[in-house]
Structure 1
Amino acid sequence: MAENRRGGKRAGAGRPKGQQNKATREQKASLQELARNHTSVALGALVKVATDGESESARVAAANALLDRAYGKPSQSVQHSGAIGSYDLTKVSDADLDRLEAILGPLADAGGDPGGAET
């Protein structure tokens, strides 16, 4: 009986896991390009709302959006002392803190959590 070469699961067939399909990549690139073509219009609208907006909350939101785009979002520093679960931070040695800083420092320098969580 002849082997059927159509259909079924084949090793190596299909798009590699985690890779966007070609159409999605192209659409995303073209959408970004279109949006960038209207940057001056969008910034102009933000400036208009920031200066002439009818409500104070709209003016503040537009001003914050302009500042975020000009200087980036401000980093938020969080200081914690005490216990986290079974870990008492007041009893952590300086050497342990230095090791943690060496591990976590590059993450903070890179702009935060790559998973998207704000710090």
Structure 2
Amino acid sequence: MALGGKREGAGRPKGQRNKITADIKVIAQAFGEEAVNALVEIMRDGDAPHAARVAATKEILDRGYGKSKQELELAGPGGGPIQTVTADLRNLTDEQLEQLEHIAAAARPDVDQK
């Protein structure tokens, strides 16, 4: 048996819905009209905090018209192209590799340390 890679016939068939997600979606859809009405009520409530009214309005618009597109632009220094650096680590000593591991670990505090 080959190691790694995609196995023929493995996983959920393409196009088939996730059963758990599908069940939750059916339950949630049963409350769709009630939920939208609750959002409209919050939006129209002049005594509700402004943040709640804005959030309710945004949710209503998102459902009615779809979420607005978010533009994302990536650029390097001064708006130029993003530069990539490659390095051949095969020639580094064990001590140098350990220093690099320490630097990388310090830059990613969310990752558990050994």
TM-score (norm 1): 0.47
For CA contacts below 8 A with separation 6 or more, give which structure has more relative contact order.
1
